[in-house]
Amino acid sequence: MSGAVRFSVSLGRELLQQFDREWQAEGFPTRSEAVKGLIRQSLVQKEWQAGKVVAGAIVLVYNHHEHSLTQHLISTQHDFEAIIVSTTHVHLDHDNCLECVIVNGKAEKVAELVKRLKSIKGIKHTDLTMTTTGKDIE
């Protein structure tokens, strides 16, 4: 990493006050770290939009008693074995399970997997956390 570079930004007083309240509430130690976080978040979004190799976590909640859901879920995951790194399955209660599918691959394939998982009858909730492989972000 090269040395830090200082730059200035002009903002309206109210916008800066809003920003200061937000970054402090989110736990950033300094305004600079908060700005770095926003820049990185924007770069991650651009990686996904550009179809680069990305990483992410798909979280599913479902009732495992739903007829054929588990078999359909396993079959779908096998169809995407090239991008699935790991899965974690936990029992939330007697009926409900949470599964986390860790992915690493082209953004289009990840989006296709999410779409297929969402289409499985009996899935109660699906959420994708998009992140980066870290290769193109400082």
Three-class DSSP category at 58: strand
Q: What is the pTM of this model?
A: 0.82
The pLDDT of residue 88 is 97
- What is the span of the domain harbouring residue 60? 53-131
Counting the structural domains of the chain, the total is: 2
Per-residue pLDDT tens for 87-99? 999 999 999 999 9
Kindly state whether residues 103 and 76 are assigned to the same domain: yes
Compute the average pLDDT of residues 34-59: 92
Per-residue pLDDT tens for 77-132? 999 999 999 999 999 999 999 999 999 999 999 999 999 999 999 999 999 999 99
Kindly state whether residues 61 and 76 are assigned to the same domain: yes
What is d(CA 123, CA 36) in angstroms, rounded to the nearest whole number? 36
